[in-house]
Amino acid sequence: MEKNQVKKLTLTEAEWQIMECLWESAPLTGREVTERMEKRTGWSRSTSLTMLRRLGEKGAIGEAEGDGKKAFLPLISRDDAALRETEDLLSRAYHGSVSLLLSAFTKKQRLSREEIDEMYALLAELENKNEEETENA
C-alpha cells in the first residue's frame, strides 16, 4: 500500500518557483522549464533540473509522454500547496485563527477597496452555506 506521500510535502522557496512555472502552463518539457527559469530567475539549467528531480522525489510533480516528448506536470494543485502552508503559518503564528491573522495584517498593511469588498462577499457566502446546513440539520 506504499503510502503515497499524502503526509508532509512542503515546498521550499526555490521549489515554489518551479511549481509556479508548471502551474501556469500545464505540461512543460525540461527544456521549456529550464528556459523559463533561466529567464525569470537566472538559474542555470542544472539548478532547474535539480529542482525538478527533487520535486519528482517528493511526489509534487510527475512526468508524461506528450507526442513522443517527455514532459513534467504538477501532481498537486497550487491551492493545495498554498493551503498547506497557510495552515502551517496559522498554527505557528496565529493559534490557528484566520481572523487573528487578518487583524494583525491590517494593522500594518492597508487593504484596497477591492480586497475589502471581496472579503465581505466571502463572508456573506459563508453565512449562506452555514444557514443551509442548519436548515438541513
Partner DNA sequence: AGCTTTTGTTTACAACTGTAACCATTATAC
Partner DNA sequence: GTATAATGGTTACAGTTGTAAACAAAAGCT
Number of residues that bind DNA (CB under 7 A): 21
25 touching DNA, by CB under 7 A: no
What element of type H or E holds 54? helix 45-58
Place of cell 436548515: 135
Residues from 70 through 99 that contact its own copies (CB under 8 A): 78-79, 81-83, 85-87, 89-90, 92-94, 97-99
Residue 53 interacting entry, from DNA, its own copies, none, C-beta within 5 to 8 Å by type: DNA
Q: What are phi and psi of 61, to 5 degrees?
A: -135, 165
* Contact by Cβ (8 Å): 55, 15: yes
> At its nearest, how many Å lie between its own copies and the CB of residue 65?
31
Rg (CA), the chain: 20
Cα distances from 129 to residues 117, 119, 132, in angstroms, run: 19, 15, 5
Binding site for DNA (CB under 7 A): 10, 12-15, 29-31, 34, 41-47, 49-51, 53, 70
Q: Which positions touch its own copies (CB under 8 A)?
A: 13, 16, 78-79, 81-83, 85-87, 89-90, 92-94, 97-99, 101-109, 111, 113-116, 118-120, 122-123, 126-127, 130
